[in-house]
Amino acid sequence: MKHLVTALAFAAFMVTANAHAEIRFGVVNEAYPPYTTKDASGKSVGWEIDLMDALCEDLKEKCTIVDVAWDGLIPALESKKIDVIWSSMSITDERKKRIDFTDKYYSALAGMVGPKDGVMGAATEQLKGKTIGIAVSTTQSMYFKKHFADIATERSYSTVDESFQDLASGRIDYVFADTGPLKEFLKTDLGKGCCEYKGSVAPDDAILGAGVGGGVRKGDDELREKLNAAIKAVRASGKYAEFSKKYFDYDPY
């Protein structure tokens, strides 16, 4: 009996020790450069993928990527299909009602792009009467409803890329999104030909959040703290700055 108890205790220890032997990172299944996109072979690449690889190297853990639609990320986490949301999800009070977050790993700013012949600015006086393209289920959509719904029209898109197509063809007046994807769009032939960055919106941390973090299940403190420690270690080692130079001319943190 003593040996049986010992064996059961050891087995329980091993289950706990290996609870996150493989960490499944939920990554949105759409192009969101420079943070995530697919290369010609279909492999996920981008700044967030480089950061994920650096964290997993520090943790000495096996990490896998699970493609998930943006509006399915939190349900996939809650149903244990993934272990962490790793897709430029802003840390907001509303989302914290359902999930926990790691420390932030980059700061997300929100702004507008529009046609080159339009006025500059991203405030009420510039947006009055305009149609603004916004990806569904985003903090930008919530921000619009609070700050601009009475003076402009929101047009919803499944992805930011879809809104860029309509902007370039003149079907909408602005696209409202995180500045990272906006500036990547302006580097493309389509973006360079039609559009320019109009400006950032006024801060609203209650909606836009206090940075971007990894989403974990409520109560999964072990994984959250492991990821927090790895984020700090990767920044302290200089790896964060090293791979960030491939994508940005500034420190995204």
Structure tokens at 198: 């109009």
Q: What pLDDT, on a 0 to 100 scale, did the predictor assign at position 18?
A: 46
Q: What pLDDT, on a 0 to 100 scale, did the predictor assign at position 16?
A: 42
d(CA 129, CA 125): 9
Q: What pLDDT, on a 0 to 100 scale, did the predictor assign at position 111?
A: 96
N-terminal to C-terminal alpha carbon distance within the chain:
55
**Is 33 within 8 Å of 246 (Cβ atoms)?**
no
pLDDT in tens, 149-167: 999 999 999 999 999 999 9
**Helical H segments across 38-195, by residue range:** 47-59, 73-78, 124-127, 139-147, 160-168, 179-185, 189-194
Instruction: Judge if pTM exceeds 0.85.
Output: no
d(CA 30, CA 181): 12
Q: What pLDDT, on a 0 to 100 scale, did the predictor assign at position 46?
A: 97
d(CA 253, CA 249): 12
pLDDT in tens, 83-138: 999 999 999 999 999 999 999 999 988 999 999 999 999 999 999 999 999 999 99
d(CA 26, CA 49): 11
Q: What pLDDT, on a 0 to 100 scale, did the predictor assign at position 252?
A: 93
Residue stretches of the chain with pLDDT short of 70: 1-21
Q: What pLDDT, on a 0 to 100 scale, did the predictor assign at position 76?
A: 98
d(CA 140, CA 204): 11
Q: What pLDDT, on a 0 to 100 scale, did the predictor assign at position 20?
A: 57
**Is 181 within 8 Å of 70 (Cβ atoms)?**
no
* Residue 87 CA: distances (Å) to CA of 55, 91, 106, 125, 176: 15, 12, 11, 33, 18
